[in-house]
């Protein structure tokens, strides 16, 4: 643009100091030339304005929250950093689905093509905590994602992402077709919908808010999670608000019939440009499937649970970071009345800057069902989270009927290698309630409450480092030592979990 303005200046100079023959032209000819130059300058100014608008669209403003180099939702080292709240659907947001900024990948101004290939080998020994039974589980998961983004105009774009997820050696044959490829995302996005600052996104899409404790992408899983949803958002520099409605399950070929799961939410962000941020939200979950509660004589009824919560994260001073979240639930599970609460508190301090040495502590707690036969539900329902980076990489605990005491240690011994050590001490909050893993499956249950509350201890080591710009390696080892409750309800032997992941994005 400077070159164009310089060219305009040269034209003016030549127009004023050209050959002597120019001086012999009439005054009207000189006036015509000056008028033409003025029109050219006006045209260049309009081009400059249009180019600035295009740059603002292609290179969005920086996200309001800092993100670690490694993607914690993908299980990478460095997960202690405060996770960014999902960006509101404000003008020119960074799309959550794209692994890189569009400016780095797109060779065309209107079409962007990219993707991701991930391989992860996992070995888990003593899943049942009983070494007398041989149950070593090992597999290699492969996930391929390809996306195309089309910018139809300044304010309208489309996004299509296909995903192929499979386990090595699990197909009937490599030349078979087991329907392992599906649409992971497919939506259109309208910026400045009806008025400036208001945006609309409709179609299959990922949803993620806060620290992913209640709604997350679930990217550690070989499939991940997306929703058929409509989202609207309004945003300014200081605050933003998202409203969404999603159909979670549509299984008309199963016992559900046409009784689907729905999710409705309002998520507000305040003080986004300040050192300390505040999120306030409300999420309604409705499961149309009629279920029997704790007292079967009451019959069957659908489930409705309302979750209201508040979250704040940011910095206190220069070195202390924090992340606090509290959620309260009410409603009903079938005919059972539902009332539950959950709290997460994380603090960590950067002790040494050169190697990013960080020490911290986290405490997580969620209520459980005190009496499984009283017709009242007290177990916190953590909706559709990404639990992996929060409650142990072995995924043996979810944010329900639990207490988790977690010291944290993170260091970058030499750039760009990152090393984490996490320790978790797990307890049940309600001794008569079940112990459930990250996916909600019951691992242990003693309705009498005589097996104690100490579930066990987990030690996690994770090491993450990039080989090249688009090639990243992640490896880890997790050791779970059963406590009194786990020994009495499941087994007394240690569980070992090892994984090695390779990620290529383009």
- pLDDT, tens only, 358-382: 999 999 999 999 998 898 999 999 9
Could you say which of 10, 31, 58 is where a domain stops?
58
Residue 464 pLDDT: 94
Residue 140, in any domain of the structure? yes
Strand pairing report for 198-205 and 181-190: antiparallel
Cβ pair 231, 265 in contact under 8 A: no
**Cα separations in angstroms, 375 against 294, 337, 465:** 5, 7, 50
Which has the higher per-residue pLDDT, 51 or 149? 149
Residues 213 and 312 in one domain: yes
- Strand, coil or helix: what is 485? helix
Scanning 239-354, the segments in alpha helix (DSSP H) are: none
- pLDDT above 60 for 389: yes
315 and 180 inside one domain: yes
Q: Which of 475, 494, 493, 498 is nearest to 394 (CA)?
A: 498
Q: What is the pLDDT of residues 127-141, one digit of tens each?
A: 989 888 888 889 999
Classify residue 478: in a domain, yes or no: yes
Nearest to 224 by CA among 141, 301, 296, 291: 141
Confidence of residue 21 (pLDDT cuts 50, 70, 90): very low
Phi, psi of 278 (to 5 degrees): -135, 130
CA 502 to chain centre: 19
State the CATH number of the domain containing residue 468. 2.40.160.100
96 occurs within a structural domain: yes
Residues 92 and 50 in one domain: no
What CA–CA distance (Å, rounded) separates 340 from 311? 17
Mean pLDDT over the full length of the chain: 82
**Is the residue at 67 inside a domain?**
no
- Check whether residue 14 and residue 151 sit in a common domain: no
pLDDT over 80 (residue 472): yes
Among the residues of 133-285, which ranges form H helices?
Answer: none
Q: Do 41 and 97 reside in the same domain of the chain? A: no
The residues, any chain, with a CB within 8 Å of residue 23's CB and separated by 6 or more, are none
Residues 396 and 475 in one domain: yes
Residue 65 lies in a domain: no
**Predicted pLDDT of residue 251:** 61
Q: pLDDT band at 39, cuts 50/70/90? A: low
Residues across the chain: 506
As given in the structure block, the two tokens for residue 304 are 């409705």
Question: Could you tell me if residue 66 is inside a domain?
Answer: no
* One domain, residues 384 and 493: yes
**Can you give the pLDDT at residue 45?**
64
Among 35, 58, 81, give the residue marking a domain's end. 58
Residue that has been written with the tokens 């794209």 in this structure: 98
- What's residue 67's pLDDT? 30
State what percent of residues in the chain have pLDDT above 70: 76
Question: Do 353 and 403 fall into the same domain?
Answer: yes
For residues 144 and 278, give the distance between their C-alpha atoms in angstroms, rounded to a whole number.
36
Same domain, 144 and 45: no
Q: Is residue 64 part of a domain?
A: no
**Per-residue pLDDT at 363:** 97
Alpha-carbon gap, residue 20 to 245, rounded angstroms? 74
Domain with 274, as residue range(s), is 72-505
For residues 312 and 424, state if they share a domain. Answer: yes
* Mean pLDDT in residue range 161-185: 83
| Count of domains for the chain | 2
Examine the domain organization and report whether 79 and 51 are in the same domain. no
Q: What is the DSSP letter of 169?
A: T
Other Cβ atoms within 10 Å of 432 Cβ, number: 19
Q: Give 171's pLDDT tier (boundaries 50, 70, 90).
A: confident
Share of the chain above pLDDT 90, in %: 58
3-state secondary structure of 52: helix
Q: Do both 30 and 115 map to the same domain?
A: no
Q: Is residue 365 part of a domain?
A: yes
User: What is the rounded average pLDDT of the residues 156-175?
Assistant: 87
């Amino acid at each position: 643009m400077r070159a164009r303005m310089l060219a305009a200046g040269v034209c003016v100079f030549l127009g004023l100091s050209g050959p002597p023959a120019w001086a012999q032209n009439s005054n009207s000819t000189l006036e015509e030339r000056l008028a033409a130059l003025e029109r050219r300058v006006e045209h260049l100014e309009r081009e400059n304005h249009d180019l600035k608008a295009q740059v603002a669209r292609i290179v969005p403003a920086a996200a309001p929250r800092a993100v670690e180099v490694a993607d914690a939702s993908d299980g990478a080292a460095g997960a202690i950093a405060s996770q960014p709240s999902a960006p509101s659907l404000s003008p020119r947001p960074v799309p959550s689905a794209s692994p890189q900024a569009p400016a780095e990948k797109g060779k065309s101004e209107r079409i962007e093509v990219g993707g991701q290939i991930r391989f992860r080998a996992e070995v888990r020994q003593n899943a049942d905590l009983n070494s007398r039974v041989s149950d070593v589980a090992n597999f290699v998961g492969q996930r391929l994602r390809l996306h195309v983004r089309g910018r139809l105009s300044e304010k309208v774009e489309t996004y299509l992402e296909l995903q192929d997820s499979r386990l090595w050696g699990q197909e009937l044959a490599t030349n078979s077709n087991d329907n392992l490829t599906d649409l992971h995302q497919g939506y259109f996005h309208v910026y400045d919908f009806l008025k400036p600052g208001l945006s609309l996104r409709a179609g299959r899409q990922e949803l993620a808010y806060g620290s992913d404790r209640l709604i997350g992408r679930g990217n550690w899983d070989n499939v991940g999670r997306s929703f058929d949803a409509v989202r609207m958002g309004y945003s300014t520099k200081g605050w933003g608000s998202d409203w969404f409605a999603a159909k979670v399950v549509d299984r008309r070929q199963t016992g559900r019939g046409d009784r689907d799961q729905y999710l409705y939410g309002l998520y507000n962000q305040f003080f986004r440009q300040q050192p300390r941020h505040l999120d306030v939200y409300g999420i309604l979950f409705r499961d149309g499937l009629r279920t029997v509660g704790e007292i079967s004589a009451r019959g069957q009824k659908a489930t409705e649970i309302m979750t209201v919560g508040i979250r704040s994260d940011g910095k206190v001073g220069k070195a202390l970071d924090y992340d606090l979240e509290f959620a309260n639930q009410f409603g009903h599970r079938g005919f059972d009345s539902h009332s539950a609460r959950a709290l997460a508190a994380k603090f960590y301090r950067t002790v040494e800057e050169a190697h990013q040495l960080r020490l911290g502590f986290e405490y997580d707690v969620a209520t459980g069902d005190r009496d499984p036969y009283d017709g009242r539900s007290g177990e916190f329902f953590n909706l559709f989270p990404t639990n992996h980076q929060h409650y142990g990489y072995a995924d043996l605990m979810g944010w329900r009927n639990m207490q988790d005491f977690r010291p944290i240690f993170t260091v970058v011994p030499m750039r760009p290698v990152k090393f984490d050590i996490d320790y978790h001490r797990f307890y049940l909050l309600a001794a008569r309630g079940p112990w459930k893993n990250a996916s909600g499956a019951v691992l242990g249950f003693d309705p009498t409450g005589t097996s104690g509350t100490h579930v066990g201890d987990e030690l996690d080591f994770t090491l993450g480092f990039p080989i090249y710009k688009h090639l990243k390696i992640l490896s880890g080892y997790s050791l779970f030592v059963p406590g009194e409750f786990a020994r009495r309800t499941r087994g007394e032997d240690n569980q070992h979990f090892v994984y090695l992941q390779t990620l290529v994005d383009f």
